[in-house]
């Protein structure tokens, strides 16, 4: 019998596992890594083979993910023994490259017990360790990784060659006598004695200092998350005013002292991917960590050095944030880290192995008990998504603010790691480098490009410059197609795409779209009423401008009589100027972006007049929600959806001193109720019963849960994101799916 296994089965200890299972079930044959998966040949008694197949399904290594098993019942050849054959390279049919894996419990035990790995901070095995972050080219062999410069010692080599050893063919295998080492630099002093590195670093943290430390996919900055002064120094160093910091906890018990994590959160927190998980915040850490938000980005140790450090650090919680300044990409080179951080921090920890592929920590949130990825990077990339049709040779370049591209190989979509804001020069270079890296790793030469319709996005300009045919895709159509592709939906759907901004086909900015679409065409059925953006792009940093715009739509010039914190904040003079600008239509482009409506409400309620980071206003508004409140404001639904009635009721509530939490909740409920009603209308007129939800607004847990429940209870089939971000980090997949469907037609 021949068994072909496709999926994430390489670089994860799958072949030794097959070998052990074959031995246990007394089968003969072989197993081989091929570029299109793992191929197994087994011969023996039928009942043994059945037992083998059962174990193959149930006992696979945790990291392995089997997508497809193809069994061929051919005649036995009378093979003797069982062997692991040398890998065959089948040209372009590449196999998968595994994401980076958190250090496993066996390896953590080894650093306490194995003489040649005592306290060794780069311990790894077939089941754990660096993968994507160290690979330069395909296939995944040590010579093609950042480990190529480290010659294995005899002991490591023996383990690497021994099929019964946990390090059999573990490409990054290393120990105290042959692998990479850490160095701590404090001022002019430096040491690579591990004990000193750990103790002196811990002392810096214990004394309230800041450290830069080289991680798996880039440098991190670290400080005590319970120390106010340290956290505020960190904000200065990062030039980051308000964006919350991620916090790494010593262990799950400590985490639960500071945050609320249910079963699903715990399962993500402890998974081998070790993402940052958005959990409930008990607000017991230094105030500067989240500045009062009711959520907290938390994660657990995943590199051996994290565990070693926590052994000496007093605090159970450290801020561990990406090692970069402002919007620049995370630093990966030792030299740049030294020149950037040595004066700004109290110490820099480097190591002498290169980071080849930059990857930030991934971020997930649990919504309706399902893991939703918000930032897809370390631990997830470059695992492909399997589509229901071919997207071979298509490069989709994504949007701009949350840069991320996607490249197609047969029916597999390889989504890049989170890249960041392409408007930053260094980030754009990172984008270009990663595009070539992916082409090389997966052996794809693009023949067609998919890009956003926005002519000024840097990604679009890049696409146009390549000299290949380009499919330009409307932003919100791409959002919905991304959700459809992730769920392998191949029918017409009602698509609700809610986000901040996207280029519309009517020359205005869109972002509250009710589409009827498949992969090839879309019809815009409805949207929120257009709002003027007084001051154009300024509104994204100044939500109060949106507040004023909505008040103007609801009350006209009478808005000046209202008793609202917004008017005090902005001052009457500024308000009059903007009203005049709106009356005369000077620098007031139109938008129907749902994000702008959230901005307006955040300011009218006094929760956020000025945004210090992207999406702060909607986050503050969500943070104010009181879950038990079920009543709602009114909206007016005609061809478009108007929130003017809601704004009027909200202002009345504000003037009557209603709790802002109640106001925020009524607004959220209004948005969900209106969306349900419009979906019902579309169903009535088209007969379509499936709804796909996408766009950055669905990062909002309350909206996502409430709207999905409303739709499901009304017998809609609802598709949502899980493995791909609903924000612009998922746009590239939708572009790819749309361009691919046009190829197949």
- Three-state DSSP state, 71: strand
Among 84, 153, 203, 577, which residue interacts with Zn ion (rule: CB under 5 A)?
153
Among 100, 360, 653, 728, which residue interacts with Fe ion (rule: CB under 5 A)?
728
CB of 436 to Zn ion, least distance (A): 31
Query: What count of other Cβ atoms lies within 10 Å of the Cβ of residue 237?
Result: 18
Partner touching 374 among Zn ion, Fe ion, none, CB below 5 to 8 Å by kind: none
- Three-state DSSP state, 53: helix
Among 111, 125, 396, 625, which residue interacts with Zn ion (rule: CB under 5 A)?
125
Listed ranges 154-162, 270-278, 361-369, 456-464: which one lies at the site for Zn ion (CB under 5 A): 154-162
Partner touching 107 among Zn ion, Fe ion, none, CB below 5 to 8 Å by kind: Zn ion
Using CB under 5 A, which residues numbered 425 to 484 contact Zn ion? Answer: none
CB of 63 to Zn ion, least distance (A): 10
Partner touching 396 among Fe ion, Zn ion, none, CB below 5 to 8 Å by kind: none
Residue 178 interacts with Zn ion (CB under 5 A)?
yes
Q: Residue 140 or 498: which CB sits closer to Zn ion? A: 140
Among 175, 554, 564, 592, which residue interacts with Zn ion (rule: CB under 5 A)?
175
CB of 419 to Fe ion, least distance (A): 15
Partner touching 224 among Zn ion, Fe ion, none, CB below 5 to 8 Å by kind: none
Taking the C-alpha atoms of residue 488 and residue 699, their distance in angstroms, rounded to an integer, is: 21
CB of 223 to Zn ion, least distance (A): 29
The set of residues, in sequence order, having a beta carbon less than 8 Å from that of 624 and lying 6+ positions away, is 605, 607, 660, 661, 664, 665
Taking the C-alpha atoms of residue 477 and residue 734, their distance in angstroms, rounded to an integer, is: 8
Q: Residue 104 or 600: which CB sits closer to Zn ion? A: 104
Partner touching 125 among Zn ion, Fe ion, none, CB below 5 to 8 Å by kind: Zn ion
CB of 715 to Fe ion, least distance (A): 28
Q: Residue 156 or 718: which CB sits closer to Zn ion? A: 156
Query: What count of other Cβ atoms lies within 10 Å of the Cβ of residue 613?
Result: 12
CA distances, 87 to each of 92, 141, 229, 372, 393 (Å): 14, 10, 55, 36, 25
Element (H, E) at 684: helix 660-686
Taking the C-alpha atoms of residue 715 and residue 721, their distance in angstroms, rounded to an integer, is: 19
Taking the C-alpha atoms of residue 238 and residue 246, their distance in angstroms, rounded to an integer, is: 13
Partner touching 156 among Fe ion, Zn ion, none, CB below 5 to 8 Å by kind: Zn ion
Q: Residue 41 or 475: which CB sits closer to Fe ion? A: 475
CB of 363 to Fe ion, least distance (A): 17
Listed ranges 4-12, 107-115, 303-311, 372-380: which one lies at the site for Zn ion (CB under 5 A): 107-115
CB of 152 to Zn ion, least distance (A): 6
Using CB under 5 A, which residues numbered 497 to 556 contact Fe ion? Answer: 499
Among 156, 204, 381, 551, which residue interacts with Zn ion (rule: CB under 5 A)?
156
Length of the chain: 745
Q: Residue 155 or 254: which CB sits closer to Zn ion? A: 155
- Three-state DSSP state, 288: helix
Taking the C-alpha atoms of residue 656 and residue 330, their distance in angstroms, rounded to an integer, is: 47
Taking the C-alpha atoms of residue 669 and residue 709, their distance in angstroms, rounded to an integer, is: 12
| 8 Å CB contact between 396 and 741 | no
Partner touching 728 among Zn ion, Fe ion, none, CB below 5 to 8 Å by kind: Fe ion
Taking the C-alpha atoms of residue 441 and residue 292, their distance in angstroms, rounded to an integer, is: 43
Among 22, 107, 533, 578, which residue interacts with Zn ion (rule: CB under 5 A)?
107
Partner touching 579 among Zn ion, Fe ion, none, CB below 5 to 8 Å by kind: none
Listed ranges 18-26, 172-180, 234-242, 253-261: which one lies at the site for Zn ion (CB under 5 A): 172-180
Q: Residue 308 or 399: which CB sits closer to Fe ion? A: 399
Partnered with residue 322 across adjacent β-strands are: 220
Using CB under 5 A, which residues numbered 475 to 504 contact Fe ion? Answer: 499
| 8 Å CB contact between 186 and 346 | yes
Residue span 72-111 as binding mask against Fe ion, x where in contact by CB under 5 A, dash where not: ----------------------------------------
Which tokens belong to 110?
Answer: 């080894």
Residue 108 interacts with Zn ion (CB under 5 A)?
no
Taking the C-alpha atoms of residue 547 and residue 579, their distance in angstroms, rounded to an integer, is: 12
Question: Taking CB positions, which residue lies at the least distance from Fe ion?
Answer: 499
Chain centroid to Cα 734, Å, comes to 16
Partner touching 153 among Fe ion, Zn ion, none, CB below 5 to 8 Å by kind: Zn ion
Residue 101 interacts with Zn ion (CB under 5 A)?
no
Taking the C-alpha atoms of residue 461 and residue 464, their distance in angstroms, rounded to an integer, is: 5
Listed ranges 174-182, 184-192, 390-398, 735-743: which one lies at the site for Zn ion (CB under 5 A): 174-182
Partner touching 599 among Zn ion, Fe ion, none, CB below 5 to 8 Å by kind: none
| 8 Å CB contact between 125 and 166 | yes
- The H-assigned helical ranges of 135-281 are 154-161, 194-206, 228-238, 252-258, 263-269
Nearest Cα residue to 441 out of 33, 736, 139, 142:
139
Size of the site for Zn ion (CB under 5 A): 9
Partner touching 499 among Zn ion, Fe ion, none, CB below 5 to 8 Å by kind: Fe ion
Q: Residue 52 or 140: which CB sits closer to Zn ion? A: 140
CB of 379 to Zn ion, least distance (A): 15
Among 1, 53, 56, 128, which residue interacts with Zn ion (rule: CB under 5 A)?
128
Nearest Cα residue to 694 out of 704, 705, 679:
704
Residue span 207-246 as binding mask against Zn ion, x where in contact by CB under 5 A, dash where not: ----------------------------------------
CB of 178 to Zn ion, least distance (A): 3
Taking the C-alpha atoms of residue 563 and residue 364, their distance in angstroms, rounded to an integer, is: 40
| 8 Å CB contact between 36 and 95 | yes
CB of 103 to Zn ion, least distance (A): 6
Size of the site for Fe ion (CB under 5 A): 2
Residue 452 interacts with Fe ion (CB under 5 A)?
no
CB of 723 to Zn ion, least distance (A): 25
- Three-state DSSP state, 322: strand
The set of residues, in sequence order, having a beta carbon less than 8 Å from that of 343 and lying 6+ positions away, is none
Of the CA atoms within 13 Å of residue 493, those in its CB half-sphere come to 30
Partner touching 675 among Fe ion, Zn ion, none, CB below 5 to 8 Å by kind: none
Residue 104 interacts with Zn ion (CB under 5 A)?
yes
Q: Residue 69 or 153: which CB sits closer to Zn ion? A: 153
- Tell me the torsion sign for CA atoms 604, 606, 611, 613: negative
With vertex at residue 614, the alpha carbon angle to CA 611 and CA 615, rounded to the nearest 5 degrees, is 80
Partner touching 204 among Fe ion, Zn ion, none, CB below 5 to 8 Å by kind: none
Q: Residue 192 or 506: which CB sits closer to Zn ion? A: 192
CB of 272 to Zn ion, least distance (A): 10
CB of 745 to Fe ion, least distance (A): 26
The set of residues, in sequence order, having a beta carbon less than 8 Å from that of 716 and lying 6+ positions away, is 494, 679, 683, 689, 690, 691
> What is the three-state SS of 85-145?
CCCECCCCCCCCCCCCECCCHHHHHHHHHCHHHCCCCCCCECCEECCHHHECCCCCCHHHE
| 8 Å CB contact between 581 and 520 | no
Name the site residues for Fe ion (rule: CB under 5 A).
499, 728
Name the site residues for Zn ion (rule: CB under 5 A).
104, 107, 125, 127-128, 153, 156, 175, 178
């Amino acid at each position: 019998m021949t068994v072909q296994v496709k999926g994430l089965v390489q670089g994860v200890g799958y072949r030794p596992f097959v070998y052990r299972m074959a031995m246990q079930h007394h089968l003969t044959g072989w197993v081989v890594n091929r570029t299109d998966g793992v191929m197994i040949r087994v011969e023996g008694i039928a009942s043994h083979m059945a037992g083998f197949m059962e174990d193959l399904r149930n006992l696979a290594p945790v990291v392995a993910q089997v997508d497809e098993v193809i069994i061929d019942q051919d005649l036995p050849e009378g093979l003797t023994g069982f062997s692991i054959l040398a890998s065959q390279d089948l040209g372009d049919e590449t196999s998968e490259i595994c994401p980076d894996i958190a250090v496993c419990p066996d390896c953590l035990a080894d650093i306490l017990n194995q003489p040649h790995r005592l306290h060794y901070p780069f311990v790894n095995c077939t089941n754990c360790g660096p993968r994507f972050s160290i690979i330069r080219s395909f296939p995944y062999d040590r010579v093609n990784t950042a480990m190529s410069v480290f010659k294995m010692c005899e002991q490591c080599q023996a383990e690497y060659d021994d099929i019964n050893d946990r390090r059999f063919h573990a490409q990054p295998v290393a120990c105290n006598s042959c692998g990479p080492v850490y160095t701590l630099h404090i001022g002019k002093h430096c040491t690579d004695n591990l004990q000193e590195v750990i103790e002196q670093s811990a002392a810096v943290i214990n004394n309230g200092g800041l450290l830069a430390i080289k991680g798996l996919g880039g440098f991190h900055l670290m400080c005590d998350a319970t120390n106010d002064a340290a956290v505020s120094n960190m904000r200065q160093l990062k030039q980051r005013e308000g964006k919350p910091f991620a916090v790494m906890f010593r262990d799950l018990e400590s985490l639960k002292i500071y945050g609320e994590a249910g079963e699903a959160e715990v399962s993500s927190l402890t998974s081998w991917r070790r993402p940052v998980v958005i959990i409930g915040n008990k607000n017991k850490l230094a105030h500067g960590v989240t500045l009062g938000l009711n959520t907290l980005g938390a994660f657990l140790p995943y590199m051996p050095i994290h565990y070693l450090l926590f052994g000496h650090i007093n605090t159970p919680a450290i801020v561990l944030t990406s090692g970069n300044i402002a919007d620049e990409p995370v630093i990966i080179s030792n030299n740049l880290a030294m020149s950037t951080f040595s004066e700004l921090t109290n110490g820099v920890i480097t190591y002498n192995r290169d980071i080849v592929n930059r990857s930030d920590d991934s971020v997930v949130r649990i919504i309706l008990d399902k893991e939703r990825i918000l930032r897809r990077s370390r631990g997830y990339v470059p695992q492909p998504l399997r589509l229901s049709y071919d997207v071979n040779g298509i490069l989709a370049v994504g949007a701009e603010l949350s840069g991320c591209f996607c490249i197609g190989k047969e029916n597999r979509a390889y989504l890049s790691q989170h890249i960041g804001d392409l408007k930053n020069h260094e980030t754009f270079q990172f984008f270009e480098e990663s595009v070539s890296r992916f082409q090389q790793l997966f052996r794809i030469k693009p023949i067609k490009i998919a890009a956003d319709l926005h002519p000024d996005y840097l990604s679009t300009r890049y696409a146009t410059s390549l000299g290949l045919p380009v499919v330009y895709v409307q932003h919100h159509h791409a959002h919905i197609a991304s959700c459809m592709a992730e769920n392998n939906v191949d029918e017409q759907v009602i698509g609700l795409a809610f986000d901040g901004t996207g280029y519309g086909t009517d020359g205005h900015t869109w972002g509250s779209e009710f589409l009827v679409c498949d992969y090839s065409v879309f019809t815009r059925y409805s949207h929120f009423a257009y709002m003027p953006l007084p001051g154009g792009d300024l509104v994204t940093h100044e939500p109060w401008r949106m507040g004023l715009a909505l008040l103007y739509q609801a009350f006209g010039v009478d808005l000046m009589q209202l008793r609202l914190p917004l008017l005090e904040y902005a001052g009457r003079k500024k308000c009059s100027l903007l009203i005049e600008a709106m009356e005369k239509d000077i620098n007031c482009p139109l938008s129907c972006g749902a994000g702008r409506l959230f901005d307006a409400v955040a300011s009218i309620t006094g929760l956020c007049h000025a945004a210090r980071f992207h999406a702060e206003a909607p986050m503050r508004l969500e943070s104010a929600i009181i879950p038990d409140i079920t009543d709602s404001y009114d909206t007016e639904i005609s061809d478009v959806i108007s929130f003017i009635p809601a704004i009027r009721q909200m202002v009345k509530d504000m003037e009557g001193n209603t709790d802002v939490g109640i106001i925020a909740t009524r607004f959220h409920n209004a948005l969900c109720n209106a969306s349900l009603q419009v979906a019902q209308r579309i169903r009535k007129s088209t007969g379509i019963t499936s709804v796909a939800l996408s766009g950055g607004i669905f990062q909002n847990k309350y909206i996502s849960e409430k709207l999905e429940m409303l739709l499901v209870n009304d017998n809609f089939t609802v598709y949502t994101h899980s493995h791909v971000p609903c924000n612009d980090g998922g746009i590239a997949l939708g572009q790819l799916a749309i361009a691919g469907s046009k190829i197949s037609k």
